[in-house]
Structure 1
């Protein structure tokens, strides 16, 4: 049978050249724990690494210079800080960006996914990009005046099956995307994120192994991802580290099977929890990803012998954190572990009072850590 009219296989479309496109991403909120996804995703689209630009850490100078007059009414300090980050990417970079991308992250790819009710983000944090965008559009289009395309893709990073459709729909016109390259870019993004998380958890495991080998204590940080920002967390953990105490962040605590069985195996066999990542014994409303991880982190820190001290960081008037203050403290202190809370953090860094509290923590750790290790 002649094949004159048979449909010929279409040649693969030539890869689009995006090597000259510069993309700015505000380093805020849940970008702190998903940044590697966005780097991997953009690199997967052909964006050169040097053209992926993150704003600097939050600072009062950044807010005064780049965010002045563009603030919006919001009691959440980490959200209000975003104005300075937007302004810095628009006005504060010598080599201008072409696209400002500030994702609206609806859910997170937490290690607790499937073990809790859901892994959603705080609604105020999720909607933050839309809130802050208004400050740059209220009088005139600041983005357009500076030749910048603004895009805020709504994305459920916790639900990997939906991400391709969401990002393709949001970004197809901005990057001239076809569906197939979106699929590959999303795969590259998750690969980068998973690899980074695995490496960070391995480093935390090495810290704990060193503590076990040397009989030394370490400090466990219970906080939201954006408290890693030096302008929001005020480098409190860094000041403690300067005294020689290793720091383990809750987000990157090792989740290897042997470690989880060692910490939670007895509770699982007793029927108190179903899996190592189950928090139903201490927190039944397990919808919020960062809140879930904080509650789980309190359980892990309470059980691990070498985490003799937990510091809890929380921003001013955080409605998501407030219900967890007492439960986390009770969980941690139930095993004799030291617990110190730095609450209501905002733009002001009270250096004097922080220094006094740091000295207090160091005193108690030096006095009681060995007893806590032996007891736990």
Structure 2
């Protein structure tokens, strides 16, 4: 999908690589007729069976069933032709409103040479858009090749030289193709069936091209070459920052230096409240100073031996520095705070059998993390006493003037759902003597949060309220320091992008999309192509920096501050969704920022923001790629095509920025 001359979205079947042309060719072959005669046979039909659109395998199943019912060859050809538009618009594009694309349609692709398929496509379009104008490319099968030729011409013009060896050499090129067990890739468990294509021209040595691999490991043939490939990738990663990936690991490390633990000489100032006359009289308040209440040395020794496990899921990605530091401040050893691994397919399949099937994938995978902590050997042998999976109802946020700071209710309820799943038939936590802690926490009310944490942990950790409150203060400082550090790195990347005319990619997503198992390592793909990536957390939040991008809006009173999104979204009650909208506003105002918008399948809180973000970025002509259907399945081929296509768009956009910079410089000289 193009907007402002740039690709913003991409639709490709995630399950099937069979195109419409392949389907028609296969049908013709099964009936022993040349594909060129397909349309004449289809047009001879007086009626047609109704095929179900979707997978080519299921379509062929329909064909077999219809044959058994007595449908003729002509009728089957007509029926398969009529289902092709549904395969395009309903199965792949998933467009409920065809008119949203306008009223002028241009058809290309070799399938348009088949008059039956072409008529079915035109009829379908005109049924849904009655006033539509439908044109067919004069050379539909070669349209893509023309585009490639035009692009090659433009590249040579920009570069100043060509590497093409000439038509004479090309016409004399020979090649051999080989696909067997000797070409199969064994560098991972997928074992891709590859094809080796060896080409040779009269003036060159033989060159081998490898096709059919699902990852870059399949591009090499030996372990030595694989090592070189991995080393070069590591070197590139060192030169090209991926703050999303860095954040996903930094969040869970013990990085904060705690202040000295209070002693019995430490004083605490608090407000004493006294109600008079049974509540009918005035409420008396006064400030008092008293000694800090410490737990006994035996209680402290008890805490130092405890181990606490935390699943690395959902809102934990927002709050991990806080949770870890709270425990560390209470003298629980950093080594005794255990986080699960990043999400992966094996983990999900192993633990998914216990839980709900109706929630989103990020919520479903949470139970797999809990299962891994309970039963994976490396976690089970640590024999932790507590598993802490808090039900976070409100989140801390930087967007101002919102209707609330609420968390997604699915996410808030997941800890309780997980507990129910693991105790339905028998209590798996009790079997391992583990205390599962899922009490609610409100991070939008600091005083309430202190009370909640003390209520949760006072007896379990044998601590005083003063100790718990002090640990909360340390935890807030750790969370702030983590954010400050990541924003400093983000500021450096953005400043360098401006200075060097670069384009960086900003990930719009929920906190758990930092998990490589949730984002399907899309950011790694962009990093391997040389693009630096930022998380929303890495956007600098200080007023001075933001004033250069939001200052005019504030002066024109469109917003009250740089952190206000009421001009584009008034019903901004969801913290993570509001932050996505705010980050989109920032990207729209920063010329060196492109956007990757991620959303998990069935995300109800993200859905209201889709059109808002799309309009914001469309109005500013900001390059953006949307992936709104990510789930447990990783469509590797589809992702690679989307990434490389978007990378091309970004290269074009970067060239535009370079041209604008030159023009601006010339204008400055003229002035």
TM-score class, shorter: over 0.9
Which residue is 2:622 aligned to? 337
How far, CA to CA, are the matches of 1:12 and 1:349 in structure 2? 52
Q: Deviations over 1:158-207 (max 9, x none)?
A: 22121110111122222223211110111111111010001111110010
How far, CA to CA, are the matches of 1:372 and 1:11 in structure 2? 61
**Number of residue-to-residue matches in the alignment:** 366
Which residue is 2:641 aligned to? 356
Q: Which has the higher contact order (CA 8 A, sep 6+)?
A: 1
Which residue, 551, 558, 565 being the options, matches 1:265? 551
Which residue is 2:500 aligned to? 214
Q: Deviations over 1:25-80 (max 9, x none)?
A: 01110100110000110101111001111110111111223x14311243211000
Which residue is 2:608 aligned to? 323
1:49 equivalenced with 2:331 (yes/no)? no
For the residue of structure 2 that corresponds to 1:34, the secondary structure is: helix
Cα gap change, 1:70 to 1:12, in 2 (>3 Å): closer
How far, CA to CA, are the matches of 2:439 and 2:615 in structure 1? 39
**Deviation at 1:115?**
3.1
Structure 1: gaps spanning 5 or more residues: 1-7
Cα gap change, 1:60 to 1:11, in 2 (>3 Å): closer
Which residue, 79, 94, 107 being the options, matches 2:363? 79
Which residue is 2:531 aligned to? 245
**Deviation at 1:229?**
0.8
RMSD: 1.8
How far, CA to CA, are the matches of 1:125 and 1:117 in structure 2? 19
Which residue is 1:176 aligned to? 462
Which residue is 2:309 aligned to? 24
Cα gap change, 1:332 to 1:9, in 2 (>3 Å): closer
Greater C-alpha Rg: 2
Which residue, 296, 320, 327 being the options, matches 1:14? 296
**Deviation at 1:13?**
3.9
Which residue, 313, 321, 331 being the options, matches 1:36? 321
Q: Is the 8 A contact 2:306 2:385 kept in 1?
A: yes
How far, CA to CA, are the matches of 1:303 and 1:212 in structure 2? 13
**Deviation at 1:251?**
2.5
**Deviation at 1:238?**
1.7
**Deviation at 1:252?**
2.3
Q: Is the 8 A contact 1:108 1:158 kept in 2?
A: yes
1:294 equivalenced with 2:576 (yes/no)? no
Which residue is 2:148 aligned to? none
Which residue is 1:232 aligned to? 518
Which residue is 2:390 aligned to? 103
**Deviation at 1:9?**
7.8
Cα gap change, 1:221 to 1:13, in 2 (>3 Å): closer
Which residue is 1:89 aligned to? 373
Which residue is 2:49 aligned to? none
Q: Is the 8 A contact 2:293 2:467 kept in 1?
A: no
For the residue of structure 1 that corresponds to 2:638, the secondary structure is: helix
Q: Is the 8 A contact 1:151 1:171 kept in 2?
A: no
Q: Is the 8 A contact 1:40 1:191 kept in 2?
A: no
How far, CA to CA, are the matches of 2:657 and 2:410 in structure 1? 39
Q: Is the 8 A contact 2:314 2:511 kept in 1?
A: yes
1:147 equivalenced with 2:433 (yes/no)? yes
How far, CA to CA, are the matches of 1:10 and 1:267 in structure 2? 48
Instruction: Give the TM-score taking structure 1 as reference length.
Output: 0.94
Structure 2: gaps spanning 5 or more residues: 1-289, 665-671
Which residue is 1:200 aligned to? 486
Cα gap change, 1:10 to 1:212, in 2 (>3 Å): closer
How far, CA to CA, are the matches of 1:159 and 1:26 in structure 2? 24
**Deviation at 1:153?**
2.2
For the residue of structure 2 that corresponds to 1:314, the secondary structure is: strand
How far, CA to CA, are the matches of 1:190 and 1:200 in structure 2? 16
Which residue is 1:3 aligned to? none
